[in-house]
Amino acid sequence: MIAEVAQATKDSLSLNPINRWVWVFPIVESIHICGFTLLVGTVALLDLRLSDLALTRQSIPQLQRSLAPWIHLGIAVQFVTGPYLFTASPHDYIHNPSFRMKMMFLAAALLFHFTVVRGAARQSRGPTVLWRRLIALVSIGLWIGVILGGLGIGFWSVND
Ligand code: HEM
């Protein structure tokens, strides 16, 4: 029974276009890299404004509103391309310490963004600049954790 399931999984993996054609993975990964540049780039702009270090001519709530669609687009691109990249070799990725670290940072970064960061950015009379700078520092730190986790995936492989 287990052998059949393993064989069926192996067969389905080999039918998956990402494993059938050598050019699919690099194209999907390139879109994934564009997606994280868009996502982390727009989050960084919001964090810089929250810290009063850039874009200070715009109010924080106004900038949050104009960046939100781009942040959501970046997240959508990542949640389409990422899981598809994952299907290339689920067993390897699940046992990859860097992939696991990335998923933990990703959960924390998304939770922190949609609660603390958005909460602070939406208030017209928000927390003090000191608090805002702390929030921005934690936010960008969590996203850097996601990126380092993503970049580390290639360096770690269960076969070593
Ligand atoms: C939403 C935020 C995300 C960010 C910022 C992000 C970032 C990255 C980065 C920086 C890489 C490395 C690209 C390279 O090696 O050049 C990567 C690769 C990868 N990511 Fe993501 N990612 C995100 C979401 C996801 C999700 C949700 C999944 C899957 C569930 C995922 C799965 C993968 C996989 C499988 C790779 C390929 C690793 C490899 O074999 O080289 N990512 N990601």
Q: Where are the domains of the chain?
A: 2-153
Which of 117, 99, 20 shows the shortest CA–CA distance to 28?
20
Q: Which residues contact 33 (CB under 8 A, 6 or more apart)?
A: none
Neighbours of 149 (CB within 10 A): 21
Half-sphere exposure of residue 120, counting CA atoms within 13 Å on the CB side? 20
Q: Whose CA is nearest to atom 37 of ligand 1?
A: 85
HSE, side-chain direction, 13 A CA sphere, residue 62: 5
Identity of the amino acid at 41: G
pTM score: 0.87
pLDDT by position in tens, the chain (length 160) = 667 776 676 667 677 889 888 999 999 999 999 999 999 999 999 999 999 999 999 999 999 999 999 999 999 999 999 999 999 888 889 999 999 999 999 999 999 999 999 998 877 666 788 899 999 999 999 999 999 999 999 887 655 5
Q: Is the CB of 82 under 6 A from ligand 1?
A: yes
Does the beta carbon of 36 sit less than 6 angstroms from any atom of ligand 1?
yes
